[in-house]
Amino acid sequence: MTERLVVIGGDAAGMSAASQARKRRASSDLSIVAFERGQHVSYSACGIPYLVAGDVTDPDHLVARHPAQFVALDIDVRLSSEVVGISDGFVTVRSPDGEYREPFDQLVIATGGVPARPNVPGALSVGIHGVQTLEDGIRLLGYLDRHAPKRAVVVGGGYIGLEMAEAMIRHGLDVTLVDAADQPMRTLDPDMAGLIADALRREGVTLRLGERLEGFASHAGRVTAVHTTGGEIPADIVILGLGTRPNSDLAKAAGIAIGETGGIRTDRRMRTSRDGVWAAGDCVETFHLVSQRPVAIALGTHANKQGRAVGINIGGGYATFPGVVGTAVSKLCDTEVARTGLSTAEAEAAGFRPYSVVTESTTRAGYFPGARKIKTKIIAERTTGRLLGAQIVGEEGAAKRIDALAVALWHGMTVEEMTSLDLSYAPPFAPVWDPVLIAARKAAEALGSFS
């Protein structure tokens, strides 16, 4: 008998699961239906800021695969179809043609994240934009085009905030960035975040740090200013970059276990608490391999890996998603920023006794043309020298070095062990001591001084 697979959510996680399952099981063995409430499947949500900035010239370029490509795999993709309930053996679907039930034997929940929307007066004014979906990006571009705003306020100084600040600069707007914290990029230590604040100021962005959002003023329904605890900031357009929370409401309503982070709980094979029900992507919580605690991190690369694992498992194989070490990368104009593991504050919160060392180096041999600055911060355990986290701020060629640190972290290396790592060296690519090795060396030397 043909087994029935239903997928809720047609983005990275859901469609990876569907594709992998199909790869291993023919239509006669497994029927697949994927419900997507929007108009697009399988697109790069992470690319939206770059669409707005103009790096990507056509929204279609962000679409990895079109519905027709899934149809060719005999995956029944239904757009504008929102799953509004999960019951034993069937889901309830709301579509333009009405509400109906779709039966399943296996279910994948890939409902993504919900962007945080501030609960303040004026939040529904025209001109206040989120940038979560492709539709959001297209709408925002249309708004820029039609209204030619002069002053942009970006609320939230995380990754999306940073990327949208750059996008607004590129459109020639005056940009103000508001964040309730005393620094942008809260996942960085204050000193490294300070370098990002400096970079923002160099690019002409006005920073309003330590100011909480209180509301929006509008005229004829259109936003005219942002009110914060620090005063009024005139605005012709507002971008919200306040992060997302796991969209786990549907699962919760169905009685599926939700974790302390608000994300759906799964095991390493991405099974939820309900038999035959899997979950993947921004809607789940995952395991932080350094803090050994659950975390919810919305990131396309995790969603893809988790979705693939689900698909392999449904397909009869065996695959796991063991967790994350918290790697992330971004840039603001020419300034690159990356991090992995725990920040100092996160390490302390996780019960470690951390110390840290910041080193300055260059991306190539100092004498080689195009050598750029790179600052590397290493956070390690004071008793053992075990690497707990790393942060990089620099220019071209700096950020991707975080990967070697992420793999070292994955293996619980000590900074002393890391000084021996056989990283590639040639003058156009690194100084004879790669910045990662210099950072490890200085961290190992500092450890020696604690005795």
Footprint of its own copies (CB under 8 A): 12, 44, 46-47, 50, 55-56, 61-62, 159, 289, 299-301, 304-305, 308, 317, 320-322, 324-331, 336, 338, 340, 365, 367-369, 397, 399-404, 406-408, 410-411, 419-430, 432-434, 436-437, 441, 448
Q: Which of 46, 168, 175, 200 is catalytic?
A: 46
> For residues 63 and 11, what is the distance between their CA atoms, to the nearest angstrom?
10
Q: How near is the Cβ of 120 to its own copies at its closest, in Å? A: 29
Taking the least distance from each CB to its own copies, the nearer of 257 and 426 is 426
Q: How near is the Cβ of 80 to its own copies at its closest, in Å? A: 25
46 noted as active-site residue: yes
Q: Which residues are within 8 A (CB) of 279 and not within 5 positions of it... i.e. 6 or more apart?
A: 108, 109, 110, 251, 256, 264, 266, 270, 272, 310
Q: How near is the Cβ of 75 to its own copies at its closest, in Å? A: 19
> For residues 89 and 386, what is the distance between their CA atoms, to the nearest angstrom?
48
Structure tokens at 39: 């108009």
Q: How near is the Cβ of 95 to its own copies at its closest, in Å? A: 29
> For residues 388 and 402, what is the distance between their CA atoms, to the nearest angstrom?
13
Q: Is-contact 339 189, C-beta < 8 A?
A: no
Q: Is-contact 325 293, C-beta < 8 A?
A: no
Query: Phi then psi for 186, rounded to 5 degrees?
Result: -65, -15
Radius of gyration of the chain (CA): 23
Taking the least distance from each CB to its own copies, the nearer of 209 and 329 is 329
Q: How near is the Cβ of 411 to its own copies at its closest, in Å? A: 5
Burial 326-350 (b: 16+ CB within 10 A, else e): bbbbbbbbebbbbbbbbbbebbeee
Which active-site residues does the annotation give?
A: 46
